[in-house]
Amino acid sequence: EAGVTQFPSHSVIEKGQTVTLRCDPISGHDNLYWYRRVMGKEIKFLLHFVKESKQDESGMPNNRFLAERTGGTYSTLKVQPAELEDSGVYFCASSQVQNSRNEQFFGPGTRLTVL
Amino acid sequence: AQSVTQLDSQVPVFEEAPVELRCNYSSSVSVYLFWYVQYPNQGLQLLLKYLSGSTLVKGINGFEAEFNKSQTSFHLRKPSVHISDTAEYFCASLRGSTLGRLYFGRGTQLTVWP
């Protein structure tokens, strides 16, 4: 069974440009999460989808970030326009049932560098 | 506020030595605790979790952790490490009311030397 996949693995862009990150969760997983790790700091929650609905987006840093999950399958996270402080590793995770204690399976992350 | 503190950013040890990676949590309500490991170029993998019941939790790859409510700790231990255990380890907590949102510590890089 395929795990959580993320694309691209690395992205280098200039300040002001737009970047879209993609996450494909494990098939059948209704819960999808986005997290971010800025260098030297802890991994922080961004938002949580249950199927196509945003359950909790309290961790989104500002309105330059837009997450979507059309059809309740894969998700995209768009940053527009990107700023220097957006650099970091963006992780996606998914879990099987609507149970907050269920194991979250993580993807390898997308490393975003904004120059 | 809920937070997780990992007291050591780097832990170097020799192969076959025991290791303890420290984690303390703060929460005013019931909390669930996890340890994840990240090997190079891979995603986070769950090592073990404490939800309730026995305070000693056994996980994969010979790791175990003990939930200590009085000390608000959830330290990770392994009696004898291998070079393949070299990775970054993350302690995380979950509060039932926050619907799956994990709170992570800053991570501990474990390096095992031959």
CATH code assigned at B35? 2.60.40.10
* Low pLDDT (below 50) residues in chain A: none
pLDDT for B42-89, tens place per residue?
Answer: 889 999 999 888 889 999 999 999 999 899 999 999 999 999 999 999
Q: Does the beta carbon of B26 lie under 8 angstroms from any beta carbon of chain A?
A: no
Q: Which residue of chain A has the CA closest to B4?
A: A42
**A56 inside domain:** yes
Residue B99 has pLDDT above 70, yes or no: no
- Domain range for B9 is 3-113
Distance from CA of A102 to the nearest CA of B (A): 8
Q: Closest to A42 (Cβ–Cβ): which among B46, B98, B106?
A: B106
Predicted pLDDT at B98: 56
The verdict on residue A75 lying in a domain is: yes
Is B100 in contact with A41 (Cβ distance < 8 A)?
no
Contacts of B109 in chain A (CB under 8 A): none
Nearest chain B CA: its distance from A58 CA (Å): 10
Domain count, chain B: 1
pLDDT band at B97 (very low <50, low <70, confident <90, very high): low
Statement: residue B96 has pLDDT above 70: no
Count of the separate structural domains present in chain A: 1
Are A19 and A115 spatial neighbours (Cβ–Cβ below 8 Å)?
no
- Rounded CA separation B111/B109 (Å): 6
SS3 at position A71: helix
What residue numbers bound the domain in which A68 lies? 5-96+107-114
Contact state of A33 with B43 under an 8 Å Cβ cutoff: no
Tell me what pLDDT residue B26 has: 86
* Binary contact (B102, A59; C-beta < 8 A): no
Residue contact B99–A33, C-beta within 8 A:
no
The answer to whether residue A102 is domain-embedded is: no
> A42 is written with which tokens?
């802890």
Residue-wise pLDDT tens digits, B1-57: 668 999 899 999 999 999 999 999 987 666 889 999 999 888 899 999 998 888 899
Tell me the C-alpha to C-alpha distance, in Å, between residue A33 and each of A13, B7, B16, B45, B76. Answer: 24, 26, 37, 15, 25
Asked if the structure places residue A80 within a domain, the reply is: yes
Chain A interface includes B89 (CB < 8 A): no
- The CA distance from A113 to A103, in Å, is 29
Considering the domain boundaries, does residue A50 fall inside one?
A: yes
CATH number at residue A46: 2.60.40.10
Is there a domain that residue A82 lies in? yes
